[in-house]
Amino acid sequence: SELHGGRHSNGHAQTYLDVFCKYQRKIGSKNWDHALMLSGYDLHRGYGSKSISGIARLFGMCDAGNTCTLAEGLDFTSAFIGTHELGHSVGMRHDEPYCTSSHIMSASLGPGKVTWSQCSMRDYHAYVEKLDNRKTNCLRTSSIPEVKRLDGKAQPGQVYDADKQCELMHGRGYKQVTPRQDNYDGICYMMWCGQTEF
């Protein structure tokens, strides 16, 4: 396969992204604005370094050869990694040093980082304006003939409740636990899991 491990040193982030971007362009991006690959590889920058969870091309959105993201797809944190990398694709830089490190575009993952900073919003709007001025804004068009609506019956957390999410992330015997002083208000920012069976 074109994405086989030998083609990218079993997860070398930059090489893997290059291979994936080339592959997604080859198969044709007529029906998507962005391609995101969740990989089972432990992404790395080279031998001796395993400190990268995802990679994307800054300003890659709406550019057929660069509208691609690679993220580790090992557990539920993949959603945060993919979101962060997608932010880079739409022109967002890391928040630091001009905004606090408590938002999605912080240089590091962490609990509670679920909002966009003012820096991120400024970068995003500037990039969308740039795409509009060049008349290359794929975000304002749709190749889908009709809008698809999600089934509104199931709310977030109902498909996989908190206990199931803990089990999927950590293994059998893990369940959601409530820290002292918390009455589930913080579950949208951080979920605590604990082992109930030893």
Query: C-alpha 141: how far from its chain's center?
Result: 22
**d(Cα 197, Cα 4) in Å, to the nearest integer?**
39
Q: Are strands 192-195 and 68-72 parallel, antiparallel or unpaired?
A: unpaired
The catalytic site residues sit at 85
Residue owning tokens 């068009």: 141
CA atoms within 13 A on the CB side of 2: 11
End-to-end CA, the chain: 42
**Could you give the CA distance from residue 29 to residue 126 in angstroms, rounded to a whole number?**
24
Binding residues: 84, 88, 94
Q: In the block, which residue shows the tokens 């606090």?
A: 100
What are the binding residues for Zn(2+)?
84, 88, 94
> What is the C-alpha to C-alpha distance for residues 100 and 183, in angstroms, rounded to an integer?
27
**Checking phi first, is residue 146 left (phi over 0); if not, alpha (psi -120 to 50) or beta?**
beta
| Cis status, amide bond into 156, omega within 30 of 0 | no
